[in-house]
Each structure stands twice: as C-alpha cells, then as structure tokens.
Chain A
Amino acid sequence: MNNIILMSYLSLFLPFLAFLINALLFHSSRKKHAAYVSIVLSGFGFLSALYIAVFYFQSGIAPGKLILWEHLFLKFTDSLHAHFAFLLDPLSIMMVVVVSFISFVVNLYSLTYMKDDPSFSRFFTFLSLFSFSMLGLVVASNLFQMFFFWELVGISSYLLIGFWYQKPSAVKASKQAFVLTRFADSFFLLGIVLISYIASTFSFETLNSLSLSHFSGSINLGFISISKLQGLFLSSILIFIGGWGKSAMFPMHIWLPNAMEGPTPVSSIIHSATMVVAGVYLVARLFPFFALFPSTLHLIMVLGIITAVFAAVIAITQKDIKRILAFSTLSQLGYMLFALGVTSVVLQNESFIHPLGYSASIFHIFTHAFFKCMLFLIAGSLIHAVHSNSLEAMGGLKNKMPWTYAAAIIGVLAISGLPPFSGFFSKDEILIAAFQSEHFIVFALALVTSALTAFYMFRFFFLAFHGKPRSNSTANVKESFGLSFPILLLAIPSFLGGYAFKKLLFQYYGPGSNNLNVFEKSMQGDWIPFASSFIVLVSIFLAWYFYARPYAKIQKSLDSSNRPRFYKWIYHQFYFDEIYDALVQQFLFKGIAQTIRFFEDYIIGGLLKLFLFVIQKLGSLVRELQSGWTPFYLGLMIFGVLMWSLIAKLPI
C-alpha cells in the first residue's frame, strides 16, 4: 500500500518536477536538456500511473473509491475544508493513465517537432505544467481542488496556445481561449460557492450521495430568496456552465478552432486528453449529483447533440487540416456529453437513470483520447513535411510517408467507428444508449453525425494522402522517424484500446450511486452496430467517390469561392467568429467599455483633476510663504506667538 501512495505522488508530481527543473534551470538553454527532462519524467509518471492502475484493478478494491492521501489546503469554516487529495477510483485512474500516456507521447513527439524553435525549453516547461494541472484536476477529491487545477489548466493552455506570441493571430486566439473559458469558469465558481453554502461540503463523495429530501427551507441570495432545492438545481446548472466553456460546447465553441494557432503538439494534447475533456470529466465526476436534476441532464444532452451535428457539418467544408480535426473534436465532445445526457429518462413524472450512457461516455473519452491525439500528431507531421496547413497543398503523400499513412488509416477508421477499431466500440455504446433510453431524435442525429464524421475524416484522408501532389513542397517530402515513432505508439491503443477496455467497462464503470432509480425496461438495439457500420461504409464510399476516384475533380471540390450561399455559410463556420467579433467590438468595446471610459475620463478623472487643482493652489500658497524675506518670517513668528497666547490660551 505504501508503494501505491509513493507511486501516486510520483505520477502526479513528476510532471511538476519537470516543470520546475525546466523553468528554473533550463529556461534559457538552447540545448535539448529540457526535452529530455520532460520526456524521462513524464515517462516515469506514466509507468507509475500504470502501476497504480494494475494494482487497483487486480487487488479487488475496484470499483471502490480510495483516497490515497489528503492534505488540508484551506479552512473556510469549522466544517468546510478544502483538501488537496489523490482520489483513486475507476474514472480517475483511467484519466491518470490516459493523460500521462498522452503527455509522454506528445513530449516525445515535440522533441523532433519543435527542434528548431528558439524557445524550445519554454515549450517543454509549459507542456509539463499543463500535464501536471490536468493530472491534479482528474485526481481531485473535491470541487475546490478541481477548480484550482481547472484554472491552472486554463492558464497553461493560454500560455501554450499563445506560444508563438510573435504571431498576432496566436495572441488573439490565446486571449480568446482564456477569456471565454474564464467567462464560463466564473459561473463554475459561483456554482461552487452556492453549493458549498447549501450543502456545506466540497467533497465529491458527499455531493454524489446527496438526498434531496434532507434539504428543506430556503436560503437568501441577497436579492432573492429561493428554496434550497432550487438552489441546488441552480448550482448544478452553474457548475455545468464551467464544463460548457471548457469543453467548448456550442455557442462557446469558437475558442477551440482558433486555438489551432498554437503548435500542433499543443493542439494534440489539448484536444485529446486534457483541457477539453475536463468539462465532460466534470459532469461524469459529479454525475449522481447532476442526475438528481433531469432538467440539467436534458440541457447537457441538447447541447451535446447540437454541437455534435453543428461541428460535423462545418468540418466537411474546411480546408485547413487542423481545423478539420478541431471541429471533429468538438463533434466528438458533443458525443460524450449527449451520452451523459441521455441517461436521464422521465417516465410518468418520475426520473430514471439509464446507466449505459454514462459508461459509454467514459469509454468514448478513453478511446477518443488516443485516436484524436494520433490524428493531430499525423496532421503535425504533414504540416512539418509540407509547410502548409491547407489540403490544397497536399495530396499523394501515401508513398512518401508510409508509416504515417498506415497510422492514419487506423486513426480515421477508429474515429469513423468501424469494427474492430477502438472508436467503433465506444461510439456504438453511445448509439445504443441513446436508442435504449428512447431519445429517438437524439439517436437519429447521432447516426447522422457518425455518417458525417466518416465522410469528413475520409475526405481529409483521401485529399492528404491520395491523388497527385498539388504543390512543389509536397513532391519531395521525407518521413521523419522522430515524428512517426510517437504516432505509431499511439496507433496501438487506437487499434486495440476499444476491445481491451470493453471488458473493464461494465464491471467497473457505472454511475455508482445507490439513490438513483435505474431504468430497467430497455429496448434491444442489436441491429445498431450493423446499421452504423453500414452508414459509415456508405460515407466512406461517398468520400472516395468525391475525392479519390480516378477521375475525381479535386480542384473543383476544393474550390470554395464558386459555391452556393449555404456552402459559404458552412465554410465560414456560420460566421460565429464574426458574430463574436461584432458582439465584442460593438457591444462590449463600443457600447459598455466606451460608456465606462467616458465615466472614467470625465467624472472620475474630472474629480481627480479638481482635487489636484485645489492641492496645487494650496501648495503654491505655502510656497509663496517661503519668500526668503526675513522680516516676514520674523513677523509671522511674532504673530504666531501672539496667536498662541491669545487664541490657544497657552501660558508663555
């Protein structure tokens, strides 16, 4: 047991150690020390995480919860404490393993990818900080610790997205990501405050076993008085808004595609295991609490499915390969969230939980992390080789980058969800969950999304790897082993991960709370895997027909100027960037900010100037007194003495 505790410290603090070493010792070094430190320490971090996982699942403790260590962090009142702890349960250990593995692979990849960058060591410093904060987030045993690391994730993603701060677009994107997620986080914080006020606890354990009948009476929010039940409901919404922003759900999604301005390994780690799944993780972590409020779960479901379809539609038209993958991440996150949402079933005014959605969502977090990370690394390799993000410059890379090509086949098949690749298992569970819990509209939209997913992923695949080279730089490309090796490392779990994890899934991954009504009556959905595979195959065929058949008009299909209006709408991502810009520019800057500026300049500034004027006049008066004219001094002295005795009546 002591071993495990030591391992848990190691797995959490080795990335932090790497961060400290890089930040303090190698911050200006041009050599590759920083990378080696990060790679070795994150490698050991991964091994210790794996050790904990093996121990946990073999010792028979699973699926029980275990707090390996706990330190008092802040004492708010006598009963309300915030702890810094390491929580071990199936969900957290799965995330720890995935995060440390992805972080190790991305570090390894960046060694080659970033090798010519002048701020090489700064990159590894931030990357280690990023993995540390995400690890701290997933092992949190209470909301406060989670929020603490949540913010650390925010700041380190800000630093990484804006890593190339010479590029104005990167600076803009990093600010956008930070401000948008901060905006959502402020609601999260409000939710935490509200819930700790009502339930007087931060601990997930307590929150997840709340029973609503204990909460009667009302609380005063200052301007309005609400019942405690409403307060809990409100806090569940507020806490979810935190995840809404972090997981970039519609309409707060715009920071995610723009975050592509960062280096590709950063996109890879942000999109696969860290940052964006934090929102999904939050909902999964507090799931029994959210399940007390079916309306919240409905909100989650609706948002999830809207984002899934919306992002998949946009991804079809994009030409920047990183943007395609970014929108595909959005769509997959939507998948995970609506899978959590469809667990809620309301029958005859009674709410039930259909646990399959929960397990499926966690399963999808797991499989998605690997194949999405791999796809991003592949995109990074392509960009590294071709020196362009655009599909217009690629084509015909199949023979020049055979290893990458092989990995890409696995990746796109995994994300499209064809058996036996990992994505198939998790996507299917999600579809079955949606079907069995009788949310048929959601189920239909999810099927459409899965068809769209297969289509845009194969569009990317065919346009990048097949056909003829469409630019000079594409014609003489070499594959680099330093880039392909990490990709191949990821290809293994992308291929086999689904099958391996499925065994663990139903044994250990349930919502895990006994005060939920479980939805028993379930419809059979045996035909769903066949139907979805068929749809995927049709989509793949369509993608082949449009983009890779021998006489395909690729130039025409890549042309985005000569298109119907609807296509342009999609191509410009429904003008959400512009809408946000207009909102921020016109409403925030010109409207509110200008008004406040006016107030500041003329009213506060005016008062200040008046004050300054009076002080200055008084000052010059005093200065005039210091004339240097001796009789005046003497006269004043005598006058002063007289006044002293006459007015103050002091004896002299």
Chain B
Amino acid sequence: MTLLNCLLLSFILFGIGVFGLLRRRHIVAMLISIELMLNAANMNFISFAYFSKGDASAGAIFSLFVIAITACEMAIALAIVIAMYRRTHSLDIDSLRGLHE
C-alpha cells in the first residue's frame, strides 16, 4: 500500500463522481455522485495524513468535519428534492429547467 495507490483510488472515485454528476439526470443519483466526490476528498485527507511523518489524527479530524458537514448538506438537499418532487412530480433534473427564467 503506497500513497500513489491511495491517491489513484481517490482519483478514480472522484472521476466516477464527476461522471455521475454530469451524466445522471435523477436528482438523488446526482446527490450520491456528489457524496462520492466528497468521499474521494476524505480519502485524500486520510492518506496524506497517514503517509506523512507527523501525527495522523489531523487528517481524521478533517474528514470527520467533512462528514458532519456533508450530513447537514444532504439534509438540506433532500429537503429541496422533496419540495421539487411535490412541485413537479418527477425527480428528473431536466424538469427543473424552467427555474432559470
């Protein structure tokens, strides 16, 4: 297990997240893609902390913060999704195109 392997893994995860965010039209699926990207970032934190010479707990603390904030963010996002569903009876992101006007 090397730093490079860990970074490659998080890069792949991030790429999947980006791809999913761009390609999927289902709102919940997009949220999950965002979650994937965040987790890739978490992995980076942890692995850099693990392979550096100092105290490894700083990385863990950062990722804990990120997880907590993600939880809040998801709560808000899901609330918006529910509101949208009530309004359009659909979870397709394209049904929200009219919002920009």
Contacts and interface: CB of A to CB of B under 8 A. Distances in A.
A2 to B, nearest CB: 78
Nearest to A633: B100
A631 interface: yes
A628 B21 contact: no
Contacts of B101: 628
Contact of B22 (A626, A627, A628, A635): A635
A635 B21 CA distance: 9
Contact of B18 (A627, A628, A629, A638): A638
Contacts of A630: 30, 93, 96
A113 to B, nearest CB: 68
A634 B21 CA distance: 8
B97 A631 contact: no
A634 B100 contact: no
Interface in A620-641: 626-631, 634-635, 638
A628 B100 contact: yes
Contact of A628 (B23, B25, B30, B97): B97
B54 interface: no
Interface in B59-101: 93-94, 96-101
A631 B29 CA distance: 12
Interface of A is mostly: helix
A628 B93 contact: no
Contacts of B22: 631, 634-635, 638
A380 B1 CA distance: 117
Contacts of B100: 626-628
Contacts of B97: 627-629
A346 B9 CA distance: 112
Identify which of A627, A629, A635, A638 gathers the most chain B CB atoms within 10 Å of its CB: A629
Contacts of B25: 631
Contacts of A629: 94, 97
Nearest to A629: B97
Contacts of B21: 631, 634
B22 to A, nearest CB: 5
Contacts of A635: 22
Interface string A23-34: 000000000000
Interface of A: 626-631, 634-635, 638
Interface of B: 18, 21-23, 25, 30, 93-94, 96-101
14 contacts: A627-B97, A628-B96, A628-B97, A628-B99, A628-B100, A629-B97, A630-B30, A631-B21, A631-B22, A631-B23, A631-B93, A634-B21, A635-B22, A638-B18
Given A638-B18, A638-B22, 14 more contacts: A626-B100, A627-B97, A627-B100, A628-B97, A628-B98, A628-B99, A628-B100, A628-B101, A629-B97, A630-B30, A630-B93, A631-B25, A631-B93, A634-B21
